[in-house]
Amino acid sequence: MNTKNNLLYYLGVVLVIFISSSEGLQRCFHCRSRGELGSCKDPFTHNTTLVEMKREVGVEIVPCASGWCGKIVESESSAKEEYGVATQRVCLQRGPSDHEDRCAQTKWNHKRVLMCFCKGDLCNSSDNINVNYLLLIISAVITFRMVV
């Protein structure tokens, strides 16, 4: 192998190791708000740095041992109360028994809610792209380029 291929190979190995080790630290957003003015509602706009520095009011980033985060949204029918729809983001003690990310209508605290489960670092935001998958794709492309 020449020097360029060696460099790309080692970069790919480092990225794969980084991806594997980053799965160990799982965090979730933790917040609750009701109505249009709340900081926890969708669309969920946040600045992770400001949240970690405690400058964004009402939103926290908490460590999550299970790795499973959740989002709970009251249904519109129960929201006809006086203050509007409540949204809550939490760390779950454990995920669903089938270990699948999903959203489902269910009853919770005697109310009809939409409950979503996801596994991954800060996955209970509104963002759909997870950096770990992006790094995995980049390392796969680098590895493919080395082989070809």
| Alpha carbon separation from 35 to 27, 38, 116 (Å, rounded) | 25, 6, 19
Count how many domains the chain has: 1
Is 69 contained in some domain?
yes
Q: Does 76 fall in a domain?
A: yes
- For 1-18, how does the pLDDT look when each residue is reduced to its tens digit (9 = 90+)? 577 666 666 666 655 555
Whether 2 maps to a domain, the answer reads no
Does residue 71 lie in a domain region?
A: yes
For residue 4, is it within any domain?
Answer: no
Query: Does a structural domain hold residue 144?
Result: no
CATH number of the domain where residue 37 is located: 2.10.60
Q: How confident is the model at residue 56 (pLDDT cuts 50, 70, 90)?
A: confident
Domain limits for position 81: 26-130
Residue 64 belongs to some domain of the structure: yes
Q: Name which of 133, 117, 102, 128 is nearest 44 in CA terms.
A: 128
What's the predicted TM-score (pTM) here?
0.65
Residue 129 pLDDT level (bands cut at 50, 70, 90): very low
Residue 60, in any domain of the structure: yes
pLDDT at 35 (0 to 100): 82
